[in-house]
Structure 1
Amino acid sequence: MSAAPRKGVFARPLVDYVLRELDPLVARQGFGEASLLLQWREIVGARVADICAPERLQWPARARKPAPDRPQEPATLVLRVEPGFGLEIQHMAPAIVDRVNAHLGWRCVVRVTLRQQALAPRAEKRRPPRPALADPASRARAEAATQGVAEESLRAALIRLGEQALKPRRIG
């Protein structure tokens, strides 16, 4: 007996909708898909991504009647580079080309062209909130409750948890 197909409306991941809308926009810049832009940091690493970003893929002009046995010519990746880092990125270009091609799964890019222009400022990482000052009475109750725990690291974690759970809350 086979299971009946499920009926109803199921939620789809937001990424399915976002990528569908982004792909036509990035196609105008020569990119076949948005993943190169969205995953740039993972592709080239944080250090390189902090000083350069992909701007477009420039494809060579196609012949009016392409030969059926000739594959598509590879593209040139245009990178926007922070001023002062052009020479460094120029030296890293072969590695960047290899990583981009590995990500895309084929020999899509053969060279890199640099355009020195400041990148848009990234949002700074938020600092974690500072822990609130512990209430001495809550700490004493948490320490008393964990008196029988032998493992020191577990006991310390339980005390921190107990402090937060037993801390008096202000209302209003």
Structure 2
Amino acid sequence: MTDAATGRSKSRRSRLIGEFLDKTLDPLAARQGFSESSLLLRWEAIVGARVAAICEPVKLQWPPRAKRRPADENQAGAKNRPAEKKDEPATLALRVEPGFGLDIQHMSAAIIERVNTHLGWRCVAKITMKQEPLSPRRVRPTKPPVDLAARRQAEAVTEGVADERLRAALVTLGERALAKPAR
């Protein structure tokens, strides 16, 4: 089904915010040297939870590009000059929690390898660090404590269910439905 005015397809399914996030953040990430926002969004998955807890990427610093002048190619000594380095790798600037700079310095080769593997090419050659507090992280909500009376009641109701997986799911559902709301 397509909209005649815009030419876009009309989809009846709802879309997750994460589907729009990469496209929205890419221009903002590009201002800090990141060609794509995936390095920022998936930092914990790239380097691991332990490393991500003590450092975060700030920017990718690319080496300045030499300007080519047409007159340079016509000069007599142009053939003897070394070829310009193409696609020189960038420097990844990290914000490191104070006191963990030495740890990150020792792990820098592994971090560079993981980042380059994620990006699919030799993008990063070295790491610079600035020791300052990290930006606050979002705290994951904790599960409420189990109401034992509600759990026993849910288990009693589901005694006749033969399938163990279905029974476990029904017990969990019943436990949450029968639990007294926390105030």
The TM-score with structure 2 as length reference comes to 0.71
Correspondence for 1:130 among 129, 135, 145: 145
Q: Which residue of 2 aligns with 1:9?
A: 10
Shift of 1:84: 0.1
Shift of 1:85: 0.1
Counterparts in 2 of 1:1-172, with a 5 A limit? 6-7=1-2, 9-10=10-11, 11=13, 12-65=15-68, 70-134=85-149, 139=153, 143=156, 146=159, 157=168, 160=171, 164=175, 167=178
More deviation, 60-69/94-103: 60-69
- What 5-or-longer segments of structure 2 have no aligned partner? 3-8, 74-82
Specify whether residues 127 and 15 from structure 1 end up closer, same or farther in structure 2 by C-alpha distance, changes over 3 A only.
closer
Identity %: 44
Deviations 1:48-79 (A, max 9, x none): 00000000011000011199974211100000
Aligned residues of 1:146 and 1:155 also touching (Cα < 8 A): no
Write the distance in 2 (CA, Å) between the matches of 1:13 and 1:79. 30
Specify whether residues 160 and 21 from structure 1 end up closer, same or farther in structure 2 by C-alpha distance, changes over 3 A only.
closer
Specify whether residues 108 and 88 from structure 1 end up closer, same or farther in structure 2 by C-alpha distance, changes over 3 A only.
same
Specify whether residues 61 and 162 from structure 1 end up closer, same or farther in structure 2 by C-alpha distance, changes over 3 A only.
closer
- AA aligned opposite 1:116: Q
More deviation, 154-163/49-58: 154-163
Specify whether residues 134 and 98 from structure 1 end up closer, same or farther in structure 2 by C-alpha distance, changes over 3 A only.
same
The structure 1 segments of at least 4 consecutive aligned residues displaced by more than 4 Å after TM superposition are 66-70, 153-156, 165-170
- 3-state SS of 1:103 partner: helix
Aligned residues of 2:25 and 2:37 also touching (Cα < 8 A): yes
Q: How many correspondences in the alignment? A: 161
Specify whether residues 156 and 34 from structure 1 end up closer, same or farther in structure 2 by C-alpha distance, changes over 3 A only.
closer
The TM-score with structure 1 as length reference comes to 0.76
Shift of 1:144: 7.3
Write the distance in 1 (CA, Å) between the matches of 2:56 and 2:177. 49
- 3-state SS of 1:134 partner: helix
- AA aligned opposite 1:15: G
